[in-house]
Amino acid sequence: MKCQTIEVWKVSARLLVNVYKTLEQCKQWGFKDQITRACLSIPSNIAEGMEKESHKEQARYLEISKGSAAEFATQTYIGIEIGYIEKQTGQEWIKQTNQILSMLTNLKKKVKK
């Protein structure tokens, strides 16, 4: 898989593992399902996109990953506010998500060239 060599894929996959482990005991199934699926979509779409032959398709999947990252950050903010996610943990996830968004933007620029 090409994605295994891409730093943003590695960072987003590590974030996902952390999210799953942290929310393992969360009893709010609907919230847990939605936030983990949004986070799962980030590295998954990077992987899917990088296997496409066309640069246009690769860029499209990176855009989808960016949307999933924004969705995950939004759900993290909400999770902090309603007490499902500890503030420090959530702030770290948001920081990592902002890093991922920046990395995705840079990767998309490279892919388009």
Output the pTM of the full model.
Answer: 0.94
- Residue of 103, 104, 102 whose CA lies nearest to 60: 104
> Over its length of 113 residues, how does the chain's per-residue pLDDT go in tens digits?
677 889 999 999 999 999 999 999 999 999 999 999 999 999 999 999 999 989 999 999 999 999 999 999 999 999 999 999 999 999 999 999 999 999 999 999 998 77
Closest Cα to residue 110, out of 21, 8, 37?
Answer: 8
CATH 3.40.50.300 fits 28-112, yes or no: no
b/e string for 44-65 if b means 16 or more Cβ within 10 A? bbbbbbbeeeeeeebbbbbebb
Give the separation between CA 48 and CA 41, rounded to whole angstroms.
10
